[in-house]
Structure 1
Amino acid sequence: MAVIPLHQARERVPRTTPGRLGVPRSGPAWLRSARARGIGGALLAGGVLATVILAGGPGDAAGGTRTDADGLPHTAVEVSSSGCGRGWTHARSGTQVFELHNTSSAAAEVYLKSPRTGEVYGETEGIGPGTTRRLRVTLGRGAYVFMCLPDDADAVTGPTVRIGGGGRPGPAAAPLTQHDLIPPALEYQKWVAGGLDGLVGRTGTLRDALDRGDLAGAREAWLSAHLAYERLGAAYGTFGDADQKINGTGAGLPRGDRDPGFTGFHRIEYGLWHGAPAASLHAPAGALLATVRTLRDDWAQERMDPADLGLRAHEILENTVEFELTGRTDYGSGSNLATARANIDGTRAVLSRLHPLLVSRYPGLRKLDDDLDRTRRLLDGFRHGGRWTPPDRLDRARREQVNAVFGDLVERLASVATLCDARRTV
């Protein structure tokens, strides 16, 4: 299974929404890393917004260029409100490293951008006072400026530096703002509202089957309702505590699977596939139906953070790799690959709303769409007469194939998360 490389790292405010194992998560490790992106590098997933993180050190004060052990020219550049970009006096084309030294008393982020179009070639975030971060980029003929954005202060743009020779620079991307992301976020929220209507209906069918004592019908209804919920993956952070009640597991609870706090789909799944009588599942099903109804009724008052939409597109399949392909959320139904298939649908739902913003920014978008379709067809092949092959029943070749395609998708979706990270402009 592929691993997200460090050169795609980004830093976001840690989230504390319930995780798929029923315990709080602060986000994947690669999102908690300090961000340093050289957009001109070669992003594995598609050629835009590549990121290179090099070890930060004390560095040199701004001023002067040297050739380091890596064979690349290193230029010390000042980061401050009064001297943003100071030190870059000998412009050259090609791959190079800027050692960004923060001489101010506040943390800052820095963009290397085009003064004409605003396209960003490289960026770093979280440069602490008195510290140095390294940014590797590939530059060509054109004009460039550093923009310094100190915490709690206005952005400052440094002097324009022109490179007269050399080839084309590395890829760049027009930054997105919070305002750009509001329309797709609102559209996605409307789509979620329709999905919640369907979820309530399917959950009602599950409860009714249990009321009749129809265990076979309840198993079928359980899968339909659970997959309806899984397709809403980008909204989990907005669901808050309801997500734990609906889709949490026994992990982290004092008594595990026997804890009274173990509720929702997986509690019912455990009973349905471990011989529990229908009557014993009536109360959990009723509680689940009440929770999804409340979630649906309250949804109109909820507001998703538009800046999270691209990040959620990545997290849906990251969670799939971590929890579904490993079978960690299987309580007897063996339906993890069905859940993975629903997660593909959920990812497509997000991407379709982001498409107008990505089509001019992400050259790998068509390849990503094709790979999602290919993965959907692969997963459909594991369904036989309404039953899904459990992940632990896959032979080695099939398991490696599934792991590989999902690992590749997670890497590609990291590009989407990076591109859709709202950036400051003032």
Structure 2
Amino acid sequence: MPNQAPTQASPPRALRWAVAGSVIVMIAAGGLFYYASKMAAAKRQANHDEVLVTIHSHSCEPNALTVPAGRASFRIVNRSDRAVEWEILDGVLVIEERENIAPGLSQVINANLLPGDYAITCGLLSNPRGTLHVTPTAASDAAAKARPSMVAFVGPLSEFRVYLSSQSTALIKAVTALEQSIEAGDLSQAQALYLPARAAYQRLAPAAQRLGELDNSINARADYFEKREQDPAFVGFHRLEYALFQQRDLDGLAPLTQRLLTDVTTLKQQLLAQSLLPEQLVSIVVRNLNSIGDVHASSGEEERYSHSDLNGFAANLDAARKVVELLRPLLSKSAADLLPKIDSALAALDAQLNGFKVNDAYASYDSVSAEQRKQIADKAKALAAALDGIDPALGLCGL
């Protein structure tokens, strides 16, 4: 019987699957490589306008940049011997930054920039800062009329925080002087120093009144207590006002002034610890002005013992004026037609109050007639109404 050729064994099934898998992996790898190449090419095309900035040990090169408004890309190359950061600054505010750029490497910063002049950091904090000038474009001019982003409010809110800090410091200083005059037993001096201390508080009142419990300790009138002036819980400014101007007696006031000093010191801490939303910046001032218009101007009850209501109204107006000042740049861009109405209302209330000044001091409120009080109330409400238009104009309604 002839010998038969041996039958060739077919590859094991596992081997066939392995070969097929290798082919699939190769195809997938090729596809991924092609995709990555296309993405890299697209990225290079998109970044063909990158601005190159080289950081050396003690400077940037170039140190003065000019770019058009809108999206800009900066490639930061670190030629120094340590990891560095690069920042774009608008005043004290960081607009964009890239941290920890390693020596010999580069990173890209993308920023949407508004027209204006900025500073740039150049590695070490001790290094001279560079400049970045951003020129306006047709697109940036159109965007300036649109609703600002929340970033636009960082500056006004930060500056309002500075205002709260400085006014709180002034309040603490004024209350300290008042305390010292009371401890010295000088009634006339204490009466004179009460007025600037009270005015310092009124400049903070729109924000301070958000802190209900603390504000009650500092600012509550006798009406809010069961035994009115005789209630042990009646403390703060109005308790001192009652003693200084109605009782005309300093006896027992030292602990009360010490308590007030503690409270206003705590007030500063809490005001700076609280966050304020953009839409609250105007609303707290509007609420304060409406209180003048609806209650305080007509009744004269707020400063019933010293009759120094006009001092308080003027201080409240200072706070309103500050908020307008902080928001004016935004309003000039987005609601320029609203500014004349606001400025007119500010000037009207200011003129009304200044009409009661004699030798740089406000008249006693018990000398202000009912008709004059109504005029003050009307102008306070008119200013509140004008300010009430700010949030809609800046797109903050409903936030």
| TM-score, normalising length: structure 2 | 0.58
Q: Are residues 1:190 and 2:162 paired?
A: yes
Q: Deviations 1:377-426 (Å, cap 9, x if unpaired)?
A: 3212213346533444223553343233223222212212443563579x
1:381 to 346, 355, 360: 355
Residue 280 of structure 1 and its aligned partner are, at CA, apart by: 2.0
Residue 229 of structure 1 and its aligned partner are, at CA, apart by: 0.9
Name the CA distance, whole Å, in 1 between partners of 2:377 and 2:231. Answer: 33
Partner of 2:4: none
Name the CA distance, whole Å, in 1 between partners of 2:158 and 2:254. Answer: 36
Alpha carbons of 1:422 and 1:177: their partners in 2 closer, same or farther (altered >3 Å)? farther
Q: Are residues 1:252 and 2:234 paired?
A: no
Name the CA distance, whole Å, in 1 between partners of 2:398 and 2:378. Answer: 35
Alpha carbons of 1:285 and 1:421: their partners in 2 closer, same or farther (altered >3 Å)? farther
Higher relative contact order (CA 8 A, sep 6+): 1
Q: Deviations 1:212-233 (Å, cap 9, x if unpaired)?
A: 1111111111110110110123
Q: Deviations 1:338-372 (Å, cap 9, x if unpaired)?
A: 11111111100111111122222251312321331
Name the CA distance, whole Å, in 1 between partners of 2:394 and 2:232. Answer: 40
Partner-residue secondary structure (3-state), 1:251:
helix
Partner of 1:357: 330
Q: Deviations 1:206-253 (Å, cap 9, x if unpaired)?
A: 001101111111111111011011012331244342211111112332
Alpha carbons of 1:358 and 1:281: their partners in 2 closer, same or farther (altered >3 Å)? same
Structure 1: runs of 5 or more not aligned: 1-172
Alpha carbons of 1:184 and 1:281: their partners in 2 closer, same or farther (altered >3 Å)? same
Q: Are residues 1:404 and 2:378 paired?
A: yes
Whether the 8 Å contact between 1:246 and 1:263 is mirrored in structure 2 is yes
Whether the 8 Å contact between 1:274 and 1:332 is mirrored in structure 2 is yes
Identity rate of aligned residues, in percent?
A: 26
Amino acid at match of 1:334: H
Partner of 1:222: 194
Whether the 8 Å contact between 2:175 and 2:197 is mirrored in structure 1 is yes
Partner of 1:267: 239
Partner of 1:371: 345
Partner of 2:280: 308
Partner of 1:31: none
Alpha carbons of 1:291 and 1:399: their partners in 2 closer, same or farther (altered >3 Å)? closer
Residue correspondence of structure 1 range 4-403 to structure 2 within 5 A:
174-175=146-147, 178-325=150-297, 326-359=299-332, 360-385=334-359, 388-403=362-377
Q: Deviations 1:176-225 (Å, cap 9, x if unpaired)?
A: 55444333112101111011111000000100110111111111111101
Q: Which moved more, 1:370-379 or 1:215-224?
A: 370-379
Amino acid at match of 2:283: L
Q: Deviations 1:292-334 (Å, cap 9, x if unpaired)?
A: 1122245443322332112123112112223431212123110
Alpha carbons of 1:306 and 1:400: their partners in 2 closer, same or farther (altered >3 Å)? closer
Whether the 8 Å contact between 1:334 and 1:390 is mirrored in structure 2 is yes
Higher helix share: 2
Whether the 8 Å contact between 2:293 and 2:376 is mirrored in structure 1 is no
Name the CA distance, whole Å, in 2 between partners of 1:178 and 1:262. Answer: 42
Q: Which moved more, 1:407-416 or 1:211-220?
A: 407-416
Q: Deviations 1:78-115 (Å, cap 9, x if unpaired)?
A: xxxxxxxxxxxxxxxxxxxxxxxxxxxxxxxxxxxxxx
Whether the 8 Å contact between 2:245 and 2:305 is mirrored in structure 1 is yes
What do you get for the CA RMSD once the two structures are aligned? 2.5
Runs of 4 or more off by more than 4 Å in structure 1?
A: 173-179
Q: Which moved more, 1:319-328 or 1:212-221?
A: 319-328
Alpha carbons of 1:382 and 1:343: their partners in 2 closer, same or farther (altered >3 Å)? same
Whether the 8 Å contact between 1:310 and 1:416 is mirrored in structure 2 is yes
Q: Which moved more, 1:386-395 or 1:321-330?
A: 386-395
Name the CA distance, whole Å, in 1 between partners of 2:250 and 2:240. Answer: 10
Amino acid at match of 2:250: A
What number of residue pairs does the alignment pair up? 253
Name the CA distance, whole Å, in 2 between partners of 1:420 and 1:316. Answer: 21
Q: Are residues 1:422 and 2:396 paired?
A: yes
Name the CA distance, whole Å, in 2 between partners of 1:217 and 1:256. Answer: 26
Name the CA distance, whole Å, in 2 between partners of 1:392 and 1:411. Answer: 27
Q: Deviations 1:18-72 (Å, cap 9, x if unpaired)?
A: xxxxxxxxxxxxxxxxxxxxxxxxxxxxxxxxxxxxxxxxxxxxxxxxxxxxxxx
Whether the 8 Å contact between 1:313 and 1:351 is mirrored in structure 2 is no
Name the CA distance, whole Å, in 1 between partners of 2:342 and 2:350. Answer: 12
Alpha carbons of 1:386 and 1:218: their partners in 2 closer, same or farther (altered >3 Å)? farther
Name the CA distance, whole Å, in 1 between partners of 2:195 and 2:346. Answer: 22
